[in-house]
Amino acid sequence: MNDKTAYALSLVRQALARYTDTPSDAIELDTSLADLAVDSLTLAELLFELEDRLGTTISETESVPRLISDVVALIEPFIDDQEVKSVA
């Protein structure tokens, strides 16, 4: 896993802490959103929170994210390399 992916995963884990009781270290890239009881409303709230944290707007996707890796892939393009270096 590269630094940008690790940073994106960290952001997703932090945001999910508000919506699920699952410990953040148990959330991996291959974790299903359904396994975390993330429904469509919760997913929308999660994406809004990630947009706020990144200061961007995530465009509509053709497919609904099903895994944490799908959410990570959505936000990775909006992560500045400087952000990653500042936490590394």
For the chain, which residues make up each domain, given as ranges? 3-87
What sign does the CA torsion over 15, 84, 77, 56 have? positive
The answer to whether the beta carbons of residues 36 and 12 sit under 8 Å apart is no
* Mean pLDDT calculated for residue range 6-27: 93
What global pTM score does this model have?
0.88
Q: What is the DSSP letter of 5?
A: H
- Per-residue confidence (pLDDT) for residue 82, from 0 to 100: 61
* Mean pLDDT calculated for residue range 18-36: 94
- Structurally, at CATH architecture level, domain 3-87 sits in Orthogonal Bundle (1.10)
Express each pLDDT in 51-78 by its tens digit.
999 999 988 777 899 999 999 999 999 9
